Amino acid sequence: MYALAERLFPICRSITGNGVRQSLQILREIIPLEVHEVPSGTRVFDWVVPREWNAREAWVRDPQGRKVIDFQDNNLHLLNYSVPVHRRMSLSALKGHLYTLPGQPELIPYRTSYYQESWGFCLPHRQFETLPEGEYEVFIDSSLEQGHLTYGEFYLPGKTKEEVLFSTHICHPSLANDNLSGICLLTFLAQELQKKPRRYSHRFLFIPGTIGSITWLARNEDKVEHIRHGLVASLLGDSGGFTYKKSRRGNTEIDRAAEHVLKHSGHPYEIIDFAPYGYDERQYCSPGFNLAVGNLTRSRFGTFPEYHTSADNLSFIQPQYLQDSLEVYKEVVEVLEDNDLFENLNPKCEPQLGRRGLYDAIGGGSESKARQMAMLWVLNLSDGSHSLLDIAERAGLPFRLVLQACRALQEAGLLRGLSAKG
């Protein structure tokens, strides 16, 4: 995942353009995702797919002719979606087009102007303060014209048409945690799920933020009814604890599965309620869709100082954190895949587990104690109305342990699957 992030980092992405295409082609080396192209001007609900933006070169020369800001050095130097310009101007006129962070004077901010024609440059405030008076030359070789919005989609069919949706935004240039971490994690999650038998179908969307999810929803309204659970993946490579932002409905299976996995993960975590601000869960959870889609991140959206600055770079994310995040995602998938209803076939008093080799004759170890408790809970609550996740929560035991107990009891003929979900 980290190596993939390193490859994607230098590419200048935006909500449209060749940077997105190039990034998706790199992902196609790992998973066979489909690339969709939606023409500029296409109406998508209340929005219109914008013109396509591409930038080749952009710089500012100071009065001595030295390039003091250069897009080649860092993609963040150019206001994303800047229109072309080539002119000379005074420092005070130029300042109207310069963006800095006075509170974090060493960092370059990340700024965009997708829906209002503009141009500009972003630079460290420290450098901004040293710009001498005089005439500057400004050059932006970009194009903003009829083209396409590009997104990637990977659909993995399962036994049922019911699906789990994973969505991540691909529109940020040269920012590692936001959101190469989400892109890399979902790519490898998809690759791993591909190799396993699946009950659910899984859909992975690699889309530009906001306009991408709106476009996908507008073009795929007929598919939405199959989405049972979903996660928006972002901010998954930093050292912070985990954050799960609930779906708008708040108590769906994905909300419970995510919270359950985090509770037993050994990592610090926080659960927060839905709010109509953040990433693409805003669109999936808009009232007309109201899907069971949450947002599972590490550090929380907008709360860390590196957020949307040049400090969100490749040293801000680490392979170990990406790996821990992937493990959490995989466990959530396991819970969803295996959460089912069972019936105890010997409900009148406890069955004699010892006779069946299910009860440790010499007890004592805490591991075996937990295994036995899991078995007793599964037997007691498998009355057709409690799912394995219900049982795990009630027992305060990890889902995996409850699932193992369930499998052992099934093998012993004490439990029957009710296959509520096919």
Q: Which residues would be at the binding site for Zn ion (CB under 5 A)?
A: 178
> H or E stretch including 164?
strand 163-169
Cβ 232 to Zn ion shortest distance, Å: 12
Q: Reduced to 3 states, what is the DSSP secondary structure of residue 298?
A: coil
CB 81 within 8 A of CB 13: no
CB 120 within 8 A of CB 58: no
| Number of other CB atoms surrounding residue 369 within 10 Å | 12
Cβ 110 to Zn ion shortest distance, Å: 7
Sign of CA dihedral 206, 212, 217, 220: negative
Which pair of tokens denotes residue 159?
A: 């036994």
Cβ 235 to Zn ion shortest distance, Å: 9
Triad 307, 313, 318: Cα angle to 5°: 100
Task: Decide whether 232 or 292 has the Cβ nearer to Zn ion.
Answer: 232
Task: Decide whether 175 or 374 has the Cβ nearer to Zn ion.
Answer: 175
Cβ 182 to Zn ion shortest distance, Å: 10
Cβ 167 to Zn ion shortest distance, Å: 14
Task: Decide whether 255 or 306 has the Cβ nearer to Zn ion.
Answer: 306
Peptide bond into 179 cis (omega under 30): yes
Task: Decide whether 178 or 324 has the Cβ nearer to Zn ion.
Answer: 178
Task: Decide whether 111 or 148 has the Cβ nearer to Zn ion.
Answer: 111
Task: Decide whether 120 or 158 has the Cβ nearer to Zn ion.
Answer: 120
How many DSSP H helices and E strands does the chain contain?
Answer: 12, 19
Amino acid at residue number 311: A
Residues 6+ apart with CB under 8 A from 37: 148, 149, 150
Cβ 155 to Zn ion shortest distance, Å: 26
CB 283 within 8 A of CB 211: no
Q: Which of 168, 282, 190 is nearest to 236 (CA)?
A: 168
Cβ 178 to Zn ion shortest distance, Å: 4
**In this structure, what DSSP letter does residue 287 have?**
T
Q: Reduced to 3 states, what is the DSSP secondary structure of residue 6?
A: helix
Task: Decide whether 112 or 142 has the Cβ nearer to Zn ion.
Answer: 112
Which backbone phi and psi does 72 adopt, to 5 degrees? -60, -30
Task: Decide whether 214 or 409 has the Cβ nearer to Zn ion.
Answer: 214
Task: Decide whether 178 or 331 has the Cβ nearer to Zn ion.
Answer: 178
Which pair of tokens denotes residue 341?
A: 């209803």
> H or E stretch including 265?
none
In terms of C-beta density within 10 A (0-12 exposed, 13-18 middle, 19 or more buried), how is residue 139 classed?
Answer: middle
Cβ 221 to Zn ion shortest distance, Å: 27
Cβ 247 to Zn ion shortest distance, Å: 20
